[in-house]
Amino acid sequence: MKRIFSGVQPTGNLHLGNYLGALKNWVGLQDEFDCLYGIVDLHALTLPQEPDALRAHTREVAAAFLAAGIDTKRCAIFNQSAVPGHSQLAWLLACMTPLGWLNRMTQFKDKAGKHKENAGLGLYAYPVLMAADVLLYKATHVPVGEDQKQHLELVRDIAGAFNRRYGVEYFPLPEPQIFGEATRVMSLRDGTAKMSKSDNSDNSRINLTDDRDTIARKIRKAKTDPAPLPDDPKDLEGRPEAANLIGIYAALADLPRDAVLARFAGAQFSAFKEALTALAVDVLGPIGEEMARLLKDPGAVDAILRDGAEHANALAEKHLAEIDDLIGLLHA
Ligand code: TYM
């Protein structure tokens, strides 16, 4: 059985990086895999969240999943906190995760900033909860953007540690699926920084809910360099902003980078940016509109989340009973 788990944090507007690095790829996997897609609200709590905003963002991410083309007849969409097994398994796995493994995680270092001793335990244990998300369903594959690669290596290490300790091949070692032309979409203002929800400048990212004019303005303002576009992808080296925009175009158009360069070689950025704007509006416009339509009926979104959680809970409870039994936790 090939099964997928992947998740998105409900911490704000989803952006083009989330779409191209994750959601777009998820849609293509639903025929081949049993898919569970989580809105990982417990992960969001690793940094302070305003309660009403957290609720609203949870529904927004659900709407984004649906608008991107996730089909609830084939996939379960649910929020993580609606399946208590995530927290339960996270504890069990925390008890077999050496601190040394967590100390290697670069995301903790980035997010904790200078004052590490003020950072929460949850932020530190974040990758263990991620391991629980994936292993709770015995997922075999995890489609993500490149920024999650290190976390998924840890998930594999934790799965291996469990299997060795109990002398069984209980958890499959999940494979990260990092594919497409935009596995790491960069900021529109700085081609060396990741496009991110937490960037202070909204001009650094294209949000899935941005309208046509906003998308056009952000792309027009996007940082570039003075040279025209090359015809060979190798000549994008050392030109991070150009490489980023070409990668975005390629991913949105479902074309390899060299095909995009063949089309735009020698062109100035102004012409290329116009074409990129038209393409981005074409692809993202319908998604934003569908999200807005879905969010007018929050009750319907909640019903989808409830159904998804019911499906996920059934599988989670079955696996947790097996895991508890292996560990020796008595269910009298
Ligand atoms: P999150 O919420 O930061 O991002 C959701 C997904 O979007 C991808 N992504 C990007 N891809 C390309 N370019 C970018 N600039 C970019 N920014 C974000 C992320 O790689 C991710 O696939 N820890 C995860 C959520 C999570 C999870 C899991 C994922 C929790 N449990 C279990 C997989 C499996 C996160 O914070 O993603």
Distance from Cα 287 to the centre of ligand 1, integer Å: 19
- Sequence-distant (≥ 6) Cβ neighbours of residue 161 within 8 angstroms: 96, 97
Return the closest-CA partner of residue 85 out of 125, 51, 38, 49: 38
Q: Which of 135, 147, 155, 197 to mutate to test the pocket of ligand 1 (most atoms within 8 A of CB)?
A: 147
Tell whether 195 is covered by a domain: no
Residues 152 and 68 placed together within one structural domain of the fold: yes
User: Is 332 within a domain?
Assistant: no
Do 147 and 239 fall into the same domain? Answer: no
Residues designated as active site: 111, 194, 197
Residue closest via CA to ligand 1's atom 18 equals: 18
Side-chain-facing half-sphere of 214: CA atoms under 13 Å: 14
81 and 164 in a common domain: yes
Domain presence at residue 24 = yes
Q: Write out the residue range of the structural domain in which residue 103 sits.
A: 3-182+297-327
What atom in ligand 1 is closest to the CA of residue 130?
31
Closest Cα partner for 75 from 108, 32, 111? Answer: 32
Nearest CA to ligand 1 atom 20: 145
**Are 253 and 301 found together in one domain?**
no
Spatial distance between the Cα atoms of 259 and 301, rounded to a whole number of angstroms = 39
Tokens of 248: 């975005």
Burial 188-205 (b: 16+ CB within 10 A, else e): bbbbeebbbeebeeebbb
55 Rama class: left (phi>0) / alpha (psi -120 to 50) / beta? alpha
Are residues 143 and 115 part of one domain?
yes
Question: How many domains does the structure of the chain reveal?
Answer: 2
pTM of the model: 0.97
Question: Is the domain of 91 the same as that of 70?
Answer: yes
Q: What's the pLDDT score for residue 62?
A: 98
> Which among 98, 178, 168, 84 is positioned nearest to 133, based on CA atoms?
84
**In sequence order, what are the residues at sequence separation of 6 or more whose Cβ sits closer than 8 angstroms to the Cβ of residue 279?**
249, 252, 253
Kindly give the distance from the C-alpha atom of residue 40 to the centroid of ligand 1, in angstroms, as a whole number.
Answer: 10
The domain that holds 68 is classified in CATH as 3.40.50.620
Q: Give the tens place of pLDDT for each residue, 144-203.
A: 999 999 999 999 999 999 999 999 999 999 999 999 999 999 999 999 999 999 999 999
175 and 110 within one domain: yes
pLDDT at 114 over 90: no
Determine, yes or no, domain membership for 196: no
Q: For residue 258, is it within any domain?
A: yes
Task: Kindly report, residue by residue over 240-285, the tens digit of the pLDDT.
Answer: 999 999 999 999 999 999 999 999 999 999 999 999 999 999 999 9
Q: Mark whether 268 and 307 lie in a shared domain.
A: no
H runs (alpha helix) in the chain: 16-18, 24-29, 41-44, 51-68, 85-94, 99-103, 106-112, 121-135, 149-166, 212-221, 240-253, 257-264, 269-295, 298-327
The CATH number assigned to the domain holding 226 equals: 1.10.240.10
66: Cβ below 6 Å to ligand 1? no
Looking at residues 24-50, what average pLDDT do you find? Answer: 97
**Distance between CA atoms of 164 and 98, rounded to whole angstroms?**
14
Ligand 1 centroid to Cα of residue 41, in Å, is 13
Q: Residue 134: which of 316, 306, 326 has the closest Cα? A: 316
Average pLDDT, the chain: 97
Measured in whole angstroms, how far is the alpha carbon of residue 112 from the centre of its chain?
Answer: 20
According to the model, what pLDDT value does residue 29 have?
A: 96
pLDDT of the residue at 115 = 85
Shared domain check, 310 and 275: no
Residue 13 has pLDDT above 90, yes or no: no
Beta-strand relationship, 75-79 and 175-177: unpaired
176 Cβ closer than 6 Å to some ligand 1 atom: no
Per DSSP bridges, beta strands 3-8 and 34-39 are parallel
Q: What is the pLDDT of residue 1?
A: 82
The answer to whether residues 262 and 322 belong to one domain is no
d(CA 144, CA 178): 6
Is the domain of 149 the same as that of 23? yes
pLDDT band at 72 (very low <50, low <70, confident <90, very high): very high
Burial tier of 18 (Cβ tally within 10 Å: 0-12, 13-18, 19+): buried
Do 120 and 69 share a structural domain?
yes
293 alpha carbon – ligand 1 mean position (Å): 25
